[in-house]
Amino acid sequence: MFKVLITDPIAPEGVEILREAGFQVDEKPDWKGEKLIENIRGYHALIVRSATKVTADVIKAADELRVIGRAGVGLDNIDLNAAKERGIKVLNTPGATAISVAELALGLLLSCARWIPQADRSIRSGKWEKKRFKGIELYGKTLGIIGIGRIGSELAKRAHALGMVILAYDPFVKEHDIAKLVDLDELLSESDFISLHLPLTEDTRHLISTREFELMKEGAVLVNAARGGVVDEDALYKALKSGKLRCAALDVYENEPLPQDSPLRELDNIVMTPHIGAQTVEGQRRAGIEIATKIREYLTGQDNA
């Protein structure tokens, strides 16, 4: 009997798929770090989301592990080199939450354009600051999307429907039916709004830093619902503090949870959410079902990947 360990919650439908296949499924959301290392022996599959860190030490301790499944897109919480060395397959669900993340990115764009969170806080404090919160429209503005894969494309569709002009930079994409593909510097200098949708790698770490902020328009808006390390937070703070950026909206951070002493917390022209891009009922259901199906197929030899 195959044994499957789930250390971050997935949709009940996904768990049921595995149990119906005859697998032993253990849901242990408190098994993190050393506790995971101590208990992973004997399991053939491990399913995680973003909270569990599948380190080299975890993989080394896993004597029977054949496959790791990530119910989501990013794989930066999994040591891919260690998994490869052990011949352990790593699977994810890149399309399951694309709409969820794209919709959040659009919401963050609107939040910055119209100061929605700031106006909410103001009125809750008993004020009526109508003139203070004069916004700008998305209509007719240029949106630059860095990374025009599944999520970036879903955002492009929605922004295009709102009358935005779409530019995109993605070295892995040769053509796109909505976005005009340009180089990074052109995108940065021509865009009124910029949204990031790319993985965190050695090549993309601090892709957006001091030089890139200098290239942006005065009053540009930056949204990051991808990975925190793509943006240099020290440089971002300076760009927001100086007024170079009108606003930034972040769903992801270099260190998560965001440290209490982060200077970003003191700024008024920033919108922050706690990595909720994929946190929709529909997105999590799709991700849970998809990763469970992939794990079942891999363990039973039905996977052709």
Domains and CATH numbers, the chain: 3-94+281-299 (3.40.50.720), 98-272 (3.40.50.720)
Average pLDDT over residues 34-47: 98
Q: Are 206 and 234 in contact (CB under 8 A)?
A: no
φ, ψ for residue 116 (rounded to 5)? -65, -50
The pLDDT tens digits for 276-288 are 999 999 999 999 9
Out of 38, 214, 256, 282, the active site residue is 256
Out of 49, 70, 150, 275, the active site residue is 275
Average pLDDT over residues 231-247: 98
Out of 49, 227, 286, 296, the active site residue is 227
Is the dihedral angle over the CA atoms 56, 60, 62, 68 positive or is it negative?
positive
275 is catalytic: yes
Q: Please tell me the predicted confidence (pLDDT) of residue 113.
A: 98
Res. 14 pLDDT band, cuts 50 70 90: very high
Q: Please tell me the predicted confidence (pLDDT) of residue 304.
A: 54
For residue 87, give every residue at least 6 positions away whose Cβ sits within 8 Å of its Cβ, in sequence order, or none: none
The pLDDT tens digits for 150-179 are 999 999 999 999 999 999 999 999 999 999
Give the whole-angstrom CA distance, residue 2 versus residue 97: 28
19 is catalytic: no
Q: Please tell me the predicted confidence (pLDDT) of residue 302.
A: 81
Q: Please tell me the predicted confidence (pLDDT) of residue 34.
A: 97
